[in-house]
A and B are shown apart, each in its own frame.
Chain A
Amino acid sequence: MTMLSPTPGRAAARPVAPAGPPSGPRRRKQQGGTVLAVPALVWYLVFMVGPMIAIFVIAALRWPGMLQPVSFAGFDNFRTVWDDPVFWDSVRNTVVQMVVALPIMIVCAYMLGYYVAQKPPGHRVIRYLLFIPGLISTPAKAMVFYAALSPDGLVNGALKAVGLGSVTDAWLASPSTALLAIIVLDVWSGIGFTAVLFAARLGSVPEEVGEAAQLDGAGHWRTMWGIHFPIIRDYVGVVTMLQFLWTLFGSAQQVLLLTQGGPGTSSTTLSFLVYQKAFIAADLGYSQAVGVVLFLVGLVGLLSIRRVFRQNY
């Protein structure tokens, strides 16, 4: 099975590519052609593409509440957003989140994936365990963290048990650690699952490649970074893009469940700001303006990650 091959990047390029091999003399017309794809296509356009486009429309509207009159605002919403310190706080938090979480996640997951792919003793057990975060829903993960990070929870209990009682904190309620808790949750659940993705890809690299390198005297470290990494470089890019998008857009849920963006704005991320302005503050134009910003950040991020990981041999 090669489902891993359709990378977002390549997929995007596909419609532009010339339509396949020249199809020779036109073959007997197949009955019931492309029409069968129409219902699925309509479904997808109505429920996904439509709302996506609507973001840009709503961002240009002055819409101060669900039942309030709507008027055209042009770029006013963007100006408001630009001048709002809360927006800049959330930008800062999102940047921190990305800069801390992404490199840790990708580097650790790659090494872990490499480890699993070498089939060391017990790799089946490890593989089974690594899937755990992939199975658990966000609310369930958040509840585990909520219980573990509570003032009387697992983490403080462990700290006390090893004599570090002075380090204990109300992790989720303290401005200096709230964002950190969100990041830790992301990294904790992200590494395992990403590692499995890497392991799956590394598993399809011919074993002779590694063996040849070892014969030439390369250690495992060299083989891992010098041989295998370049081979699956573009796949690392794809996984990085996915994690980037998951973190960028998905953090709204973790923040909503764990800290509600607080205390203050210390853990408000961009995607939570979109949610908060739409469904709590009912400032709809503002919310969708941030939505547009978020979308653009996502796009720019994708393109830059793609550039960094471009196959270069």
Chain B
Amino acid sequence: MKHGKSWLPAHILVWAYALLLVIPLYYLVASSFKTNDQIFAHPFSPPTSLSFGNFSEAFSSADLGMAVVNSGLVTVLSLALTLVLALPAAFALARSTGRAAKVVEGIFSLGFLIPTFAALFPTFLLAAATGLFHTRAFMVLFLPATAMPLSVVILVQFMRTIPKEMEEAARMDGASTFTVLRHVYTPMCLPGIATILLMNFLTFWNEYLYSLVIIGPDPSQRTVQVALPTLKSLTGTDYGVLTAGTVLTLVPVWVVYTVLQKRMQQALVSGAVKM
């Protein structure tokens, strides 16, 4: 037997770690239905009632509803812009054989080495200089840039697998370059597009520090990740409300993960090369 008796310690350790991953989540969900007193007295016991009071409290005191809309807006628009920029770029790089294309591809690959965080303050200056400071618009312009290196490299790899004959056949029928991209390449690298969409969805939705500094604390503009920590002080740390708010920010990601589990795992693994 491959996983015989000698594996027992391994089984125990692994499941213990799995438990360590699950317990905080359980605590999170259980606490979101409890009051402070109940949490302090019985941190492990399941909630006694399934009232959504904490959730509506989190919603109203931190304006989470607005924040979800803002996050959604920023995420979706950034994803769209990422695709609009990355698809033609990858298309061009995958087809051309010239030296210029090699250099450009190299520059994109170097992007893996740039730690985005380090440039927080200069980026903040850039936002101020363009007059887009304290707006969601700057984040929509900025986030795709951070996603560009990996997105382009992944799409190029997909597009290189498309046989040249496909394009030649389309050309025979009089297709323009744009038509080739739109009707030949894009449909054929849908798996690649899905990968970068999922990977970037997660990064964009979960982005914190840049959103905090650039969009700032204005409740009508800020994203969920920025709104969430404010619950800590706003409510004098009502842990029930805090955990309820946290659960709320996890829901969209959780839904996507559960529906697209396999694909999401693949996307995450490929996205790991990124900062």
Binding site for B on A (CB under 8 A): 1-4, 6-8, 11-12, 14-15, 19-20, 23, 27, 30-37, 39-41, 43-44, 46-52, 54-55, 58, 108, 111-112, 115, 118, 120-121, 125-140, 142-148, 150, 152-154, 157-158, 161, 188, 191-193, 196-197, 200, 219-220, 238-239, 242, 245-246, 248-250, 252-253, 256-257, 271, 274-275, 278-279, 284, 287-288, 291, 294-295, 298, 302
A/B interface sample: 27 pairs, CB < 8 A: A1-B270, A11-B113, A12-B113, A15-B109, A33-B98, A34-B92, A34-B101, A36-B92, A41-B107, A43-B148, A48-B119, A48-B148, A51-B126, A55-B119, A55-B121, A112-B14, A129-B22, A130-B21, A139-B228, A143-B245, A145-B24, A146-B232, A153-B39, A157-B44, A158-B43, A197-B272, A288-B122
Residues of B within 8 A of A8 (CB): 112-113, 273
Contact between chains at A148 and B27 (CB < 8 Å): yes
Whether B166 is near chain A, meaning CB under 8 Å from some CB there, is no
Residues of B within 8 A of A50 (CB): 122, 126
A47, A145, A298, most chain B CB atoms within 10 A: A47
A1-B270, A52-B118 known; A40-B126 Cβ under 8 A:
no
With beta carbons under 8 angstroms apart, the residue of B88, B120, B242 that contacts A39 is: B88
Contact between chains at A271 and B117 (CB < 8 Å): yes
Contact between chains at B246 and A14 (CB < 8 Å): no
Whether B31 is near chain A, meaning CB under 8 Å from some CB there, is yes
A36-B89, A40-B86, A140-B246 known; A132-B228 Cβ under 8 A:
no
Chain A residue with minimal CB distance to B18? Answer: A129
Contacts A37-B152, A47-B123, A138-B206 aside, 4 further interface pairs with beta carbons under 8 A come to A31-B176, A40-B88, A136-B250, A196-B269
Contact between chains at B208 and A138 (CB < 8 Å): yes
Contact between chains at A12 and B110 (CB < 8 Å): yes
Task: Give the number of residues in B that approach A within 8 Å (Cβ atoms).
Answer: 112
Contact between chains at B102 and A20 (CB < 8 Å): yes
Whether B254 is near chain A, meaning CB under 8 Å from some CB there, is yes
Whether B266 is near chain A, meaning CB under 8 Å from some CB there, is yes
Whether B177 is near chain A, meaning CB under 8 Å from some CB there, is yes
Chain B residue with minimal CB distance to A49? Answer: B114
